[in-house]
Amino acid sequence: MSRVSTPVRNRVRQRAQHRCEYCHLPDAFSSYGFHVDHIIPVIRHGGSDQLENLAWACFRCNTTKAGDIASYDDDTDQLTPLYNPRTQTWSEHFEMDGPWIMGLTPVGRVTVRILEMNAEKQVNARQLLMDTNRW
């Protein structure tokens, strides 16, 4: 059971236009329910239940992100925060290359790696949705 109320959950979903705010998977085509992700986790990092700390996330992105908020970028060797959909613009950090999500910046690269956005199942699902004009 989510600690986020149904009305707040619905607002987060609508604000995200029914897509994961990390990998952009449309929620209508997910086998698992979407989650309201705490961008800054409440327990481990003192985040809140306020709308500015909530994102609509597919099961895969939310569970692989877990309590992470940063990691080291392979190109710069710098500790880098994960993408924040409330304060950052997706297209500044990511681009699509067919069904693959490419990180354009340290934030994008770290987020793609930590959230395993290009895992085989994710890529295959995106390709299928693209092939059937549902992406």
Q: How far apart are CA 61 and CA 16, in angstroms?
A: 14
Per the structure, the complete domain to which residue 108 belongs is given by 6-131
Structural domain includes residue 1: no
Q: Which pTM was predicted?
A: 0.95
pLDDT digits (tens, 9 = 90+) for 74-117: 999 999 999 999 999 999 999 999 999 999 999 999 999 999 99
Structural domain includes residue 85: yes
Q: How far apart are CA 66 and CA 38, in angstroms?
A: 9
Query: What is the number of structural domains in the chain?
Result: 1
Give mean pLDDT, residues 31-35. 92
Structural domain includes residue 37: yes
CB 22 within 8 A of CB 55: yes
Structural domain includes residue 31: yes
Structural domain includes residue 48: yes
CB 80 within 8 A of CB 106: yes
The model's confidence at residue 61, banded by pLDDT at 50, 70 and 90, is: very high
